[in-house]
Amino acid sequence: MPNTFGKLFTISTWGESHGGGVGVVVDGCPANLPLSEEDIQPELDRRRPGQSEITTPRKEADQVQILSGVYEGKTTGTPISMLVFNKDARPGAYAEMKEKFRPSHADYTYQTKYGHRNPEGGGRSSARETIGRVAAAAIAKKILTLKSNVETLAFVQKIQDIAMPSMDAISSAAIEANIVRCPHEETANAMIDRIKELRSQGDSVGGIVECRIRNLPIGLGEPVFDRFEADLAKAMLSLPATKGFEIGSGFEGTLLKGSENNDAFENRDGEIRASSNRSGGVQGGITNGEEVYFRVAFKPTATILQLQKTVDLEGNETELMGRGRHDPCVLPRAVPIVEAMANLVVLDHWMRHIAQNDSFKF
């Protein structure tokens, strides 16, 4: 099932950048959840193209339609299918890319693996595929909001070498207060200037999205293959343009000694808590009740408006000038997508935890 993610709350996405549309089938959603397009649209609005001067100018309203699984405003327990039509496709911009491979994009590997591909807008490798994930995760978020106080917040922590200072308290309002989605205003302004500068040179830039999940219960995650952090890593690295994942003290933690890295336990007013959180809220693959925090590295956008060396379908060396409408930096739009994947992992693992540990009691 190469287009399906999740074990109990499953999503199957479909569609290409310049095809008729993109969408998702969500299976395993509990019945009787009040649900309408209004629950989904705000999340899609956060990821849609054309939302600011530092994203791709492609004009898509990304209006979602729920086709199945909802009756009289409530879910029925049957598959929920959701659809967004592609409206602003410009296939002409990709004529040359049909013959020549874009460096560091998916063109060469798709062509070699399948022998036939849709080059328009990158086809299935386009980030438009993530519309289905965000739509599905809006349902997961609604369930988590109604049944818990779990809060998932992602934000842009770094663009190239411009990093925000470490901040404990981060609010959704501060993240959404600027177009780059960095909650530290001064850093956000420097990031925006850098993105604009590189875009004016026909270039692109990458960076790091950090995500924090608060108020998770203890016990989510499986001890071996489906460790909570392993599934988070898979979820994040399944996103286009990702090149790295770290949780808790991550790669920096390798510089510490065990005595410095360990999170000492303490009894805080009758509650067992960790006095520090270098584990990133996961121990032995299972959440320990502390905040889960992780970082995802996104590379500079592959399609740049500069002449680059490449080869054509016959293997002849040639040059390619990038065309079409592209994000000079994918990170501002990646923020809601990272949150979406995190919420899908949380809900799926929560359902699995309940199914195994809270349903049949012996």
In the complex, the residues that contact ligand FMN under the rule CB under 6 A are 56, 105-106, 122, 125-127, 239-241, 301-303, 326-327, 330, 333-334, 337
| Rounded least distance, CB 55 to ligand FMN, Å | 8
Find the shortest distance in angstroms from Cβ 154 to ligand FMN.
Answer: 12
The least distance separating ligand FMN from the CB of residue 38, rounded to whole angstroms, comes to 23
Q: In terms of CB distance, is 96 or 291 closer to ligand FMN?
A: 96
* Least Å from the CB of residue 352 to ligand FMN: 27
CA atoms 201, 209, 61, 12: torsion sign = positive
Rounded CA separation 220/238 (Å): 21
CB of 254 to ligand FMN, least distance (A): 25
Considering the complex, state which of residue 158 and residue 349 has its C-beta at the smaller distance from ligand FMN.
158
Tokens describing residue 94: 């990709």
Residue with smaller CB distance to ligand FMN, 215 or 238: 238
Query: Shortest distance, CB of residue 97 to ligand FMN, whole angstroms?
Result: 10
Rounded CA-CA distance 176/190 in Å is 16
Residue placing its CB nearer to ligand FMN in the complex, 105 or 352 = 105
* Nearer residue to ligand FMN within complex by CB, 162 or 334: 334
If the CB atoms of residues 287 and 301 are measured against ligand FMN, the closer one turns out to be 301
- Would you say 70 or 334 has its CB closer to ligand FMN? 334
Nearer to ligand FMN, 240 or 280 (CB): 240
Structure tokens at 228: 């909570």
Q: Indicate the residue among 69 and 121 with the shorter CB distance to ligand FMN.
A: 121
Question: CB count, 10 Å around CB of 287?
Answer: 26
* Vertex 77: Cα angle to 76 and 81 (nearest 5): 85
In the complex, least distance from residue 60 CB atom to ligand FMN, rounded to whole angstroms: 12
How far apart are CB 234 and ligand FMN at their closest, in Å?
14
Min dist. Cβ of residue 266 to ligand FMN (A): 40
CA distance 92 to 357: 55
> CA-based angle 66:67:71, to the nearest 5?
80
